[in-house]
Amino acid sequence: MTSLESTIKVFPPEALRTHASSKVQLAVQDAAELYASQYRRYTELPYVTHPYGVAMRLLNIGADEPTLIAALFHSALDMNAGMSASMLRRQYGEEVLSLVLPLTEGPALAGVPRAERKRLYRERLIAAEPRVHDIKLADIIDSLDGIVHADLRLAKVYLPDHEALVKGLVKGHPALQQEARHTFTRERSRLKR
């Protein structure tokens, strides 16, 4: 990918920038600032392209304002990006925070062996409300798409971690469930080649 392509991808999609909700527009700007110096692990694209991709998938299924905002900050509390739970609550309210918290592994699981940590995280997500399932499904789709080609080593860890999760997020929007299963199956078959 050229630096020009990288730069172009930093700009939020038109549909997010022109969303009728001024709160979503503010969240798009805040996300760009929050993730300004971060890059995706395996694509070298600015990290903000990931939350934009997650939010766009949710916008396409008609997600509500709190869900779109939570999508933009779905990993902010885990990334040491400069966002705390109290800051998120103060800026966007309790409802947005309640959607982000189940998506966060957080310090409570620090020191727990990886397999157990992933199991506890998966159980919490599966028990969460449908909008959390929507955000996580969109996150998985955006994260899995092309992972085998981009980083084989990461794919070998990431795909098994998400197999049970993709199957367990049954409260999510049917279109997201179908796309997540399709993306997972395609990337798993690429891994076996």
**What is the pTM assigned to this prediction?**
0.90
Across the strands, what pairs with 39? Answer: 46
From the centroid of its chain, how far is CA 115? Answer: 21
Number of folded domains in the chain? 1
The per-residue DSSP string of 72-88 comes to HTTTTTTTTSS--HHHH
Cα diameter, the chain: 48
Residue 118 sits in a domain whose CATH number is 1.10.3210.10
Looking at residues 113-126, what average pLDDT do you find?
A: 91
Domain that holds residue 35: 3-192
Phi-psi region of 173 (alpha: psi -120 to 50; beta: other; left: phi over 0): beta
8: buried, middle or exposed (CB in 10 Å: 19+, 13-18, 0-12)? Answer: exposed
State whether residue 64 is helix, strand or coil.
coil
Give the model confidence (pLDDT) of 163-174 as tens digits.
Answer: 889 999 999 999
Cβ atoms of 46 and 10 closer than 8 Å: yes
Give the model confidence (pLDDT) of 45-103 as tens digits.
Answer: 889 999 999 999 999 999 999 999 999 999 999 876 688 999 999 999 999 999 999 99
Give the model confidence (pLDDT) of 2-27 as tens digits.
Answer: 443 444 445 667 788 777 788 999 99
Torsions phi, psi for 154 (to 5 deg) = -65, -40
C-alpha distances out from residue 21 to 49, 62, 76, Å: 20, 13, 21
112: buried, middle or exposed (CB in 10 Å: 19+, 13-18, 0-12)? Answer: middle
Which of 57, 44, 53, 46 shows the shortest CA–CA distance to 8? 46
Average pLDDT score over the chain: 88
The per-residue DSSP string of 91-108 comes to HH-HHHHHHHGGG---GG
Residue 123 token pair? 């159980």
Residue carrying structure tokens 């905002």: 69
